[in-house]
Each structure stands twice: as C-alpha cells, then as structure tokens.
Amino acid sequence: MDIRAHVSMVFHLDKCIGCHTCSIACKNIWTDRKGTEYMWWNNVETKPGTGYPTLWEDQEKYKGGWEKKNGRIELKLHSRRGGLGNIFHNPYLPTIDDYYEPWTYDYENLFNAPEGDDQPTARAVSMITGKPMESIEAGPNWDDDLGGSPLYARNDVNLDELTEEEREQLNEVERVVFFYLPRICNHCLNPGCVAACPAGAIYKRGEDGIVLLSQEKCRAWRMCISGCPYKKTYFNWASGKSEKCILCYPRLESGQPPACFHSCVGRIRYLGVLLYDADQIESGASVANEDLVAAQRAMIMDPFDPEVIAAAKKNKISDAMITAAQNSPVYKFVKKWQIALPLHPDFRTLPMLFYVPPMLPVLAKTKDGTYDVEGLDKENLPAMLSSLEKARMPIKYMASMFSAGNTNVVEDVYRKLIAVRIFKRAQKVKDYQQAEVDAALASGKTNAEEVEAIFRLTSLPTYEERFVVPPLGRESAVEAWEIPLARKQEAGFGVRNKIAKRKF
Amino acid sequence: MFDNALFIGFPYVAVAIAIVVSIYRFWFDPYSYSSQSSQFLESRVLFFGSVPWHYGIIIILLGHITALLFPGLWGLFTANQTRLYILEIVGLSLALMATVGLVLLLYRRMANARAHAVTSEMDWILLFVLLLQVGLGFWVAYYYRWGSDWYLHTAVPWLLSLLKFQPNIASVSALPFWVKFHFVGGFVIILLLPFTRLVHLLAYPFSYLWREHQIVIWNRSRMN
Ligand code: HEM
Ligand code: SF4
Ligand code: SF4
C-alpha cells in the first residue's frame, strides 16, 4: 500500500445551469494572453453534442488516452519509438480549426470610417493573423443548448451504441433533451498527457496530485495534446508551448478553492482530498471495461481506517491532510455513497474529477404532450421510480460517458438518486405511501440516514462543506511536513549560491 | 590569406560561439529551447514539408558525420563501384527530398497567413540560409559527381586537422568556388544554430525511450 493524497473534485450535473460563469472566471485569470485566446481550461458543453474541441471524445480520430493490448495498457497515440518517429509531424494533432479561430471586431472603424451613405460596421478580425475574417465558422459554445443539433448533437460519439429508434427519440422536437457538461483537466492518476510528452515536461505533484506542465521544459513536441483524451492540454500558438489547467494551485496554496469552483453559480462543484493507493494505478487502469469504475473506487482508501492512516503517515502525509481527507465531500460522493462517476473511464487515465450524473433529462418521457408518469413497471415500483425504464435520455448514453458502457453502474447511481427524491418528496409533499418509500430505498440500496446526508450535501451545503481545501499554504502548512527551523538562513538577499549555515 | 580566414578562422569562431551561446542559453534561458511547432496553425502542408525535410536532412547529416569519423570504413565502402553508385543515388534522392521539403516549408510560411503570423525574422533567415546550403549541396553532388568519395580526400582531412587543432587547408584550397561555398555554408549554419530555432536539435528527447511513463515530483523530500 503506497498511500498518497489527491485534491479531487465532484461536479453535480443536476445543479449545473449552463451559465458559463466558471469559464469566464478562469479565462479572466489564466487565458487572456496572446496565443491563449481560444483556450478554455474550463469549458461547459451541451450534451448530446460534439463538444470542444469538436469530437474530442472520438479517439479513433485523436488517439488520446490508453488502450488495452495483450493484457497491458499502452498509449493509443504512439509507442516510444513511434512517438519519436512522428515527431516531425504529429498525424493526430487537432488544429486551431477543431477549436475555433479567435477573433475580435474592428471597433475603431465605427469611429474612424469616412462619411458615407451607409453605417460603418465593425468587421470581424482574426486574433491570429490580424486580417478580416470573411465568415465566423465556429466559436466557444457554438452548439450551446443544442444549437445546430443536426450537425453537432447528432454526431455525438456516445450515441454510437444506441439503436436508430433511440437516437430518433432524442431528436424529437417535443422531447428534445440535453444537459450541461462542465469540464476541466481531470488531474488523472494515469495521465496520458504525461506519458505522451517526449521531453518529460509534464508531471504530477506528489503532495496533492495536481498535474502541471513545465514551461521551461516544454520543447513544443506537441504530443501531450494528442495524448490527453479529454483535450485538456492546449497549444499556445504564440509562445510555442503547451499549457493546461493548474487547478489554481496558487489559490489552493493560499487556502482558496480554484476560481471556477469559487464562482460557480449553480454551486455544483465540490473539492476535497482523497487518499488513494498508488500501487494500484497500473492494475486498476488495466481491468476490463465493465470493471473500470469498480477498480477506481477500490483504489480510493477509507481515511478513517487505522491501517490506511498508518500507511499515510508512513508516507509523511500530514495529520492536517488526513483530517481534510476525512472531511472530504468528494470521498462521500465517490466512495461512500457511490453516486459520482468518472468521465469516460474507458480512456483509462483514471480521472480524479467525478460527476453525479444528471437526473432531470433522464426522468419522464412525454406522452401526448404531457409527462408520462403513468403506470407501474415490472417491479411494481411507484411511477417516479419506474421512470428509469422509460428514460428519455437512454441509460446506454449515460453509460457510454460515465461507466465505460456498464449500464448497471449508472442504474445503481440513478436508483439511489431517485430514492433520495422519493424519500424527500414523501416527507414534504406527502404523496407517497410508506411502502413506496421503502421500495425506493431498497431499490436504491440505501437507507434513511444516507438519503438525508446526500440531500444535505446536495441541496444545502455551506461553502466550507463544498470546499474542504487541504492545508497547502506554503508559509503555514509547511510546518506540517518540515521543521521550519531546519530551513532557517536558506533564503534572503544575495544568496545565489548556497552559503554554509552557521553551526551555532 | 583569405582562405585561411574562411577555412580556419571562421570555423573556429563559429563553433566556439555555437558552443558558448548554446550552453549559455540552456542555462539561463531554458524556456527558449523549443522547436516552436506551428503545426497547430497549419498541418497539411507541414506534413509534406517537414517529414521529407527532416528525414532527408538528418540522414544526410549523419552521412557527413560518419564519413568524417570513420574515413577508413567509408573508403572501403565506396571502393566498390556498385556500392558507390547506390550511395550516390541514395544521397541525391535524400538531398532532393530535403530540398523539396524545405521549399514547401518556405512556401507554407509565405502563403499561409496563420503560419506567416508566427514566423520571426530569424525564421526567415534560417530557412533561406538552409535552402541555399541544401540547394548548393545538391548542386555540388550532382555537378561534381562522386562526392561521397572525394569528400574523403578534401573535406575530411581539413576537418580532422581542425579537430586536432593542427589546421591544414591544403586539401581544400584548390577546390572549385561552389564547393568551397558549400563548406563554409556548413559553418554558417553552425553559427546560426544557437540563435535560431535550430537549438531544437540539441534538445532531442532521447530519454523518452527509457523514462518511466509517469512522472511524479515531490516538493518536499519523502526521506526521513
Ligand atoms: C534531431 C532531430 C530533429 C527533431 C526531433 C526535429 C523536430 C522538429 C520539429 C518538431 C519541428 C516543428 C515542426 C512543426 O512546426 O510542427 C521542427 C522544425 C524545423 N526543423 Fe527540425 N528536427 C530535428 C532536426 C533538424 C535538423 C537537423 C534541421 C536542420 C539542419 C532542422 C531544421 C528545422 C527547421 C528549419 C524547422 C522549421 C520548419 C518550419 O516550420 O518552417 N531540424 N523540427
Ligand atoms: S485530463 Fe488533465 S491530467 Fe488527464 S490526461 Fe488530460 S491534461 Fe493530463
Ligand atoms: S458556473 Fe457552475 S452552474 Fe454555471 S456553467 Fe459553470 S459549472 Fe455550470
């Protein structure tokens, strides 16, 4: 057992209102420089849809992540030698057109245009070439809220497993259904970006698991962009260096949550520490598709287990970090309640951002223009419970995104979420019989106590409950792992070469 | 006198500057060591330019270096006529490949507005100088046939004498103008190396072949 700590995340998709405040918060802090205009380290896309960059989930196109070969996992992108062979031209690199060409408008023309018969206009100007753009063909959130869905939503790769009928169902006007998927770098345990970089410029911070890309070491071999299946490393075309989400580590180190978390209007985001067993990384990433979620849950350790605590201490994880892990909302969602799932575990990078799948688009089909809540299903469950079988958003679609195709995993999550709904509704609206509530709890494999806890952390959490920022503050938290006295005299004016310390 | 400056003074100055500036840059400005890929802005033409260019130029350069370091073996190899023919044909095709690739790379940076936008003055200088040098090499190889053999008796003794710090230009001073031009051009490129994106070939990522896939860095030591 090699216990490490990881700052991890949960996004509760039922709560996302698609306002893009998170994206803007991030952009204003990190990506408003030249060469980064097109980058959205945090982006929010509409599902079904092709996302950003277009079709990022299609690994036949982009070759991101890992694949199983002869029982072992290998990068889909290249072997080591193959990578060096393709270094002069990476055949799977997305180009700016897969994102969009950033532009501004020639506002000055509105003031400076000579007098004429027509109103002056502000033409679109490319932020790369500075030349006018004839037409704008893509932009951030081009397919927001299913805009252009025949082109975008229809090509979502998660629909591949669906039958023709199921696909049609999604597109019927009266039943049109979608949800938002906010995405940042998942700070994976088995990151494809790190493994693909020939220069070794990308690394995981041991103490908190944040994946960073060294600007000093990046040599623009541009393999990480392909290696990351989530397309969360970006190429700065002006500096010729790749960049990625840094989980706002300067904020974390001063006790604040990342800006996208802090600003989230729907309060969908949770941040906390997980303790995990690093010895299981390779084996956990190599299991069969249907076992991937279970394997990842298995490598997350119980922070209350004395054995785990002892192993953590042996690895010099501080008491404060262990306490943070015990208070972690992420631990509850992911491991204790098992209702948060990794996005595309089939990419085998072991992402450490988990999603509570959205229920609203799943529940309630319409029939004759009204919600179809009639009837009992085969298990004699109450109407709301049976809705899973009649789901508008096919479970297979959700399974393709959140459980590598294993529908049982997603159904288990939904049964529990539905149990929470029924239980609370019985409490407040009082239109369910106790027998129905009990049936719901049983089918969700849960109990009254757990349901109350889930409800509380979902609907009424305080700021401090949502963000349990571990003690990473450099000045104060350093005491947790280092004796400050041992570091005295090491820094200060004029110390370029280390000077021998005073012995007294 | 002029030959001495070109074939003794200049090579030493060029190599000395290249070494000092490369090391200085690596030490004090590692950020600038980069291939500065522009594939993200333009990928298609780059493929037809960059791939033939690099495979062509790298193999040819390795040929130049091998003949310099192992002149005996090289001589044995070229002593057989069939092998000499094959070597010349392979060399010429590679040179042609590199030249075509380079022309495409230049064309791409001129014709594609996006690639143009990320091209610095040094990039233009480098591409033109490289084109001149490669074109010249191709011309010399074609016009003064059997270069893979006479290189051994002209350039190699001279370069070895430079390496041994006992400069002797007897073997090159009587060569035709274009050949001399090509020889000096090589050192112009060495001189340019630390001042342009050419530093990327010093950063060749050999270690990717054996390093661990995952890299974890601890800010604090995990030692007791
Ligand atoms: C040692 C192995 C080498 C590697 C791994 C390498 C790799 C690269 C890479 C990745 C690029 C960027 C391509 C892009 O835009 O995506 C590049 C560009 C370039 N390389 Fe190399 N290279 C090598 C050797 C050389 C040599 C020996 C030369 C010339 C003597 C050279 C000359 C150039 C030039 C001129 C460019 C710019 C091309 C352009 O975009 O216009 N390279 N190289
Ligand atoms: S999601 Fe982040 S850590 Fe994972 S592979 Fe992509 S860039 Fe790397
Ligand atoms: S700020 Fe929150 S609610 Fe708004 S889009 Fe982002 S994740 Fe969704």
CATH number where B203 lies: 1.20.950.20
Q: How many helices (H) and strands (E) does chain A have?
A: 22, 17
Domain assignment present for B137: yes
Q: Which residues pair with A203 in a beta bridge?
A: A212
Check if A5 contacts B (Cβ < 8 Å). Answer: no
Instruction: Please state the atom number of ligand 2 nearest to the C-alpha of residue A65.
Output: 5
Task: Determine whether the interchain pair B117/A81 forms a contact, defined as Cβ–Cβ distance below 8 Å.
Answer: no
Give yes or no for a contact between A289 and A404, defined as CB atoms under 8 angstroms apart. Answer: yes
Query: Measured between alpha carbons, how far is B93 from B138 in angstroms, rounded to an integer?
Result: 9
Phi, psi (rounded to 5 degrees) for A327: -90, 5
Interface mutation target, options B208, B211, B217, chain A, most CBs of A under 10 Å: B208
B53 burial class (0-12, 13-18, 19+ CB within 10 angstroms)?
A: buried
Task: Determine whether the interchain pair B118/A206 forms a contact, defined as Cβ–Cβ distance below 8 Å.
Answer: no
Looking at residue B124, the DSSP 8-state letter turns out to be H
pLDDT of residue A387: 61
Domain assignment present for B42: yes
pLDDT of residue A255: 87
A16 burial class (0-12, 13-18, 19+ CB within 10 angstroms)?
A: buried
Domain assignment present for B178: yes
Using one digit for the tens of pLDDT, what is the confidence trace for A97-154?
A: 999 999 999 999 999 999 999 999 999 999 999 999 999 989 988 989 888 877 888 8
Query: Measured between alpha carbons, how far is A425 from A382 in angstroms, rounded to an integer?
Result: 13
Instruction: Tokens 């992911």: give the residue.
Output: A334
Domain assignment present for B204: yes
The radius of gyration of chain B's CA atoms, rounded to the nearest angstrom, is: 20
The answer, yes or no, to whether any atom of ligand 1 lies below 6 A from the CB of A87, is: yes
Chain B residues near residue A95 by CB distance under 8 angstroms: 39-43
Average pLDDT over residues A303-327: 93
- Any residues with CB less than 8 A from the CB of B98 and at least 6 apart, and which? B52, B53, B56, B57, B60, B134
Check if B42 contacts A (Cβ < 8 Å). Answer: yes
Give yes or no for a contact between B66 and B87, defined as CB atoms under 8 angstroms apart. Answer: no
Distance in Å, alpha carbon of A398 to nearest chain B alpha carbon:
30
* A128 vs B114, B209, B211: nearest CB: B114
Can you give the residue range of the structural domain that contains B8? 2-209
Give yes or no for a contact between A449 and A296, defined as CB atoms under 8 angstroms apart. Answer: no
Task: Determine whether the interchain pair B217/A83 forms a contact, defined as Cβ–Cβ distance below 8 Å.
Answer: no
Instruction: Please state the atom number of ligand 3 nearest to the C-alpha of residue A182.
Output: 7
Query: Measured between alpha carbons, how far is A447 from A450 in angstroms, rounded to an integer?
Result: 5
Interface mutation target, options B206, B213, B221, B224, chain A, most CBs of A under 10 Å: B213
Domain assignment present for B221: no
Residues of CATH 3.30.70 domain(s) within chain A? 268-466
Give yes or no for a contact between B213 and A198, defined as CB atoms under 8 angstroms apart. Answer: no
Give yes or no for a contact between A71 and A63, defined as CB atoms under 8 angstroms apart. Answer: no
Distance in Å, alpha carbon of B114 to nearest chain A alpha carbon:
6
Using one digit for the tens of pLDDT, what is the confidence trace for A334-379?
A: 999 999 999 999 999 999 999 999 986 555 555 555 555 444 444 4
Q: What is the ipTM of this complex?
A: 0.93
* B50 vs A89, A206, A482: nearest CB: A89
Mean of all residue pLDDT scores within chain A: 89
The radius of gyration of chain A's CA atoms, rounded to the nearest angstrom, is: 25
How many structural domains is chain B composed of? 1
Q: Is the pLDDT of residue B72 over 70?
A: yes
Domain assignment present for B216: no
pLDDT of residue A167: 80
If one looks up domain A268-466 in CATH, what number appears?
3.30.70
* A222 vs B39, B117, B203: nearest CB: B39
